Amino acid sequence: MNKNTDTFQIDPPANPPKDDFTIRCPRLGHQINFSYCRSENSGDPCFKTLDCWYPHFDVHAYLKNSLKKDEFKKIFLNKAKPKVLSLFELIEQAKKRKEKQD
């Protein structure tokens, strides 16, 4: 029991559910099990694995323990650049190429 709120807190399971347990994939639009998500990206976890599975077990601790630190960082902590920023960078690169040609 939590002394501050007088409520019970249930720790999430430490291990992923068995493959007969599925959730609805927001990207694919159908039911999927954790094994699929764990290796969806050419053997690496899907970048949304933490978001999709945290209600069902302690996916953060599980993946921190099963991936190398740089793998975890690459998959989950590198945010993609916003498209507008990428477009801006492409325009700047084109301008520089044009200036060199002139």
Q: Which of 40, 57, 63, 76 binds ligand SF4 (CB under 6 A)?
A: 40
Residue 59: which of 78, 76, 41 has the closest Cα? 76
Handedness of CA 19, 21, 24, 29 (dihedral sign): positive
Binds ligand SF4 (CB under 6 A): choice among 13, 15, 19, 28? 28
Closer to ligand SF4 at the Cβ: 20 or 102? 20
Contact 40, 22 (CB under 8 A): no
**Contact, 17 vs 56, CB < 8 A?**
yes
Binding residues for ligand SF4 restricted to 43-72, rule: CB under 6 A: 46, 48-49, 52
Binding site for ligand SF4 (CB under 6 A): 23, 25-28, 32, 37, 40, 46, 48-49, 52
